[in-house]
């Protein structure tokens, strides 16, 4: 297929909305190793927000709320009413409306992709689904929404859906999928639990996927042996997909995703059960035939959204990676020598907020969502 370039994001600013504006708090100044961190509240009152995507031409940001709403947030904090046409979601446990990304050709096709928990499984179980629709010019309606991918079988009772959406430079769509807290399925190639899949934007399977044509194997699979990957991003310097995932009790990890590789779960893990007992299927921290984590935390921060920083605004952040932490309630900054992590800093811990998503904005600031019943969107930079 023709090579595509990922949609360049643009500055977000105020749009006309029917909802009342939310009064933003003053900018807070927090300490960091590289200077004073400025954290400005853009909006509050979001209901467990999960992901954000920047709209072009100064039209604001799309934000998902896990109970099932998709909203537009303007730079001044005004919230739109929920956008019409969003699919019904299975909003239980960790399930609901999850990630949102724009088509690489959004300016031409106005297509928005959503991942979400979809019910319908035996015994009221659910799985991750991905669909797409066209956002109306007035930003009020998602038209002609169609499901292009379903995780099969549906096994989740409310846990481990994944799910991040990432377009690569050639326009392929990667989807990260949790193993629905059914550990063994991450190694089962006839199931879509615990996998990273790769599809065309319309849901079709590329002929060069690693398992195409193999009997009893799902052709969508790009990699397997994942547990619950809730963060993923394309490395802007190499074009390679990076993913982060939750371990159990310990063993959160970053993986550099390679075609057809096995990332080990549950056979290889640095974590243990929440009960304190070993993972029954585990053969240790490493086992033959699996890829070791690129970076691992023995004590779990509860990793979520992930962003590479490649803007010019804050040069000391260039080639750093920022990751949200749900358990430790921080923004993690990782510093690299090549691809190797050489330093880690924990930011924004003073706020005591579960950080769900982080994205680099078109203005060079970081934008951070907190997963709370009174969730907030923050703009983060250095003074």
Q: CB-based burial of residue 220 (10 Å sphere; 0-12 exposed, 13-18 middle, 19+ buried)? A: buried
Alpha-carbon distance values, 228 to 60, 106, 181, 246, 293 (Å): 30, 29, 8, 5, 14
Catalytic residue among 48, 160, 270, 295: 160
Vertex 84 angle, CA 82 and 85, to 5°: 135
User: Cβ contacts of residue 141 below 8 Å, gap of 6+?
Assistant: 83, 84, 85, 135
Alpha helices in the chain (DSSP H): 106-109
In a domain, 119, yes or no: yes
State the average pLDDT over residues 224-249: 97
In a domain, 140, yes or no: yes
Instruction: Tell me: pLDDT of 164 over 80.
Output: yes
Instruction: Tell me: pLDDT of 346 over 90.
Output: yes
> Is residue 4 very low, low, confident or very high in pLDDT (cuts 50, 70, 90)?
very low
Alpha-carbon distance values, 304 to 7, 279, 291 (Å): 22, 22, 21
CATH code, domain with 327: 2.120.10.30
**What is d(CA 79, CA 70) in angstroms, rounded to the nearest whole number?**
10
Q: Is 160 a catalytic residue?
A: yes
Contact predicate 24/77, CB 8 Å: yes
Distance between first and last Cα of the chain: 44
In a domain, 14, yes or no: no
Q: Name the average pLDDT for the chain.
A: 93
> Is residue 58 very low, low, confident or very high in pLDDT (cuts 50, 70, 90)?
confident
Q: Is 184 helix (H, G, I), strand (E, B) or coil?
A: helix
In a domain, 20, yes or no: no
- Phi and psi at residue 316, in whole multiples of 5°? -70, -15
Output the six-digit token pair for 247. 């371990």
Number of domains in the chain: 1
Instruction: Tell me: pLDDT of 185 over 90.
Output: yes
- Phi and psi at residue 108, in whole multiples of 5°? -95, -40
Q: Give pLDDT, residue 26.
A: 80
In a domain, 15, yes or no: no
In a domain, 72, yes or no: yes
Range of the domain at 375: 33-348+364-382
State the average pLDDT over residues 366-370: 98
Name the residue with higher pLDDT: 5 or 317: 317
Q: Give pLDDT, residue 41.
A: 96
> Is residue 25 very low, low, confident or very high in pLDDT (cuts 50, 70, 90)?
low
């Amino acid at each position: 297929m023709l090579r595509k370039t990922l949609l360049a994001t643009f500055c977000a600013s105020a749009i006309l909305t029917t909802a009342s504006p939310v009064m933003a708090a003053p900018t807070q100044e927090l300490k960091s190793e590289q200077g004073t961190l400025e954290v400005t509240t853009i909006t509050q009152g979001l209901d467990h927000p999960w992901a954000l995507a920047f709209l072009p031409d100064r039209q604001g940001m799309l934000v998902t709320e896990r109970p099932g709403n998709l909203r537009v947030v303007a730079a001044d904090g005004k919230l739109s009413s929920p956008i019409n046409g969003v699919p019904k979601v299975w909003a239980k446990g960790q399930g609901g409306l999850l990630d949102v990304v724009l088509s690489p050709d959004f300016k031409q096709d106005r297509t928005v992709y959503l991942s979400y928990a979809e019910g319908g499984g035996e015994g009221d179980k659910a799985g991750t689904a991905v669909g797409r629709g066209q956002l109306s010019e007035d930003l009020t309606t998602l038209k002609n929404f169609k499901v292009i991918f379903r995780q099969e079988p549906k096994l989740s009772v409310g846990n481990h859906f994944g799910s991040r959406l990432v377009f690569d430079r050639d326009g392929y769509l990667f989807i990260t999928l949790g193993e629905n807290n059914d550990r063994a399925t991450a190694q089962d190639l006839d199931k879509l639990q615990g996998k990273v899949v790769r599809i065309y934007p319309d849901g079709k399977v590329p002929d060069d996927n690693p398992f195409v044509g193999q009997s009893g194997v799902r052709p969508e699979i790009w990699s397997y042996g994942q547990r619950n990957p809730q963060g993923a991003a394309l490395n802007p310097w190499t074009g390679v997909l990076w993913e982060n995932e939750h371990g159990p009790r310990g063993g959160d990890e970053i993986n550099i995703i390679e075609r057809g590789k096995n990332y080990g779960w549950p056979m290889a893990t640095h974590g243990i059960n929440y009960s304190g007992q070993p993972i029954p299927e585990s053969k240790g921290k490493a086992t033959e035939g699996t890829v070791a984590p690129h970076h691992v935390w023995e004590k779990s921060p509860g990793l979520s959204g992930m962003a590479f920083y490649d803007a010019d605004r804050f040069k000391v952040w260039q080639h750093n990676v920022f990751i949200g932490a749900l358990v430790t309630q921080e923004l993690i900054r990782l510093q690299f020598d090549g691809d190797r992590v050489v330093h880690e800093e924990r930011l924004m811990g003073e706020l005591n907020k579960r950080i769900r998503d982080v994205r680099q904005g078109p203005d060079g600031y970081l934008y951070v969502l907190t997963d709370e019943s009174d969730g907030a969107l923050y703009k983060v930079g250095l003074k």
